[in-house]
A and B are shown apart, each in its own frame.
Chain A
Amino acid sequence: DGGITQSPKYLFRKEGQNVTLSCEQNLNHDAMYWYRQDPGQGLRLIYYSQIVNDFQKGDIAEGYSVSREKKESFPLTVTSAQKNPTAFYLCASTYGRGNQPQHFGDGTRLSIL
């Protein structure tokens, strides 16, 4: 079955450490997204990518970085510059513009040790 795979499901980070969250999709979708979810705040867009080798900042990009070297993969790095990284991170993908629903992975929960 086609879908979006996020790994790991749980991740722990030490202070000052960068960590990378994986997101892989086999839906042949062009666009991919990273969201951060905190209680009571819904989903906030971190970065998105419409095509390979191109990506744009979302609303809360500071302290995060991404790459899009392959259509299937859109990894997110949470850098040490992100001072409050504890959150639930969701990856999504879609065929294209706003009239297409986004499909979501099962998320990665990041915690600080």
Chain B
Amino acid sequence: AQSVTQPDIHITVSEGASLELRCNYSYGATPYLFWYVQSPGQGLQLLLKYFSGDTLVQGIKGFEAEFKRSQSSFNLRKPSVHWSDAAEYFCAVGVNDYKLSFGAGTTVTVRA
């Protein structure tokens, strides 16, 4: 079965600085990869997804992610964070069934 690891539980970044969130997956083939964001007390919102093709994927809110097959990684990046980016971020992996596996999440704090 596939699994997802988000090594960083909590990241603090200054407003205007760059952000990178790590995601590693374990699966024999290339899975379907997703990044979601969750504000406190809310549901999850899809930021971006990767199925195939170009390994650099653009998403909403200025986020992008890069799929690296050799490293089994799908890291999320944003060049310049805004205070509104403070939230919890989840990486998820899907295969050829109806289920997703989620990482434990990374909480992002943005300081002024």
Contact = CB atoms under 8 A, between A and B. Distances in A.
Contacts of A98: 31-32, 94-100
Interface residues of A, number: 29
Nearest to A40: B104
Contacts of A45: 99
Overall SS of chain B's interface: loop
Contacts of B95: 98
B45 to A, nearest CB: 7
Contacts of B42: 106-107
A94 interface: yes
Interface in B28-43: 31-32, 34, 36, 41-43
B96 to A, nearest CB: 6
Contacts of A43: 44, 90, 102
Interface residues of B, number: 25
A40 B105 CA distance: 7
Interface in B1-50: 9, 31-32, 34, 36, 41-46, 49
Nearest to B34: A101
A18 to B, nearest CB: 24
Interface string B96-112: 11111011110000000
Contact of A102 (B9, B51, B96, B100): B100
Contacts of A105: 43
A103 B41 CA distance: 16
B104 A42 contact: yes
A53 interface: no
Contacts of A101: 34, 46, 49
Given A42-B105, A97-B96, A109 B41 contact: yes
Interface in A54-113: 58, 90, 92, 94, 96-107, 109
Closest 7 CB pairs of A and B: A98-B94, A104-B43, A42-B104, A43-B102, A104-B44, A42-B102, A106-B43
7 contacts: A4-B43, A40-B104, A40-B105, A42-B102, A98-B95, A100-B94, A104-B44
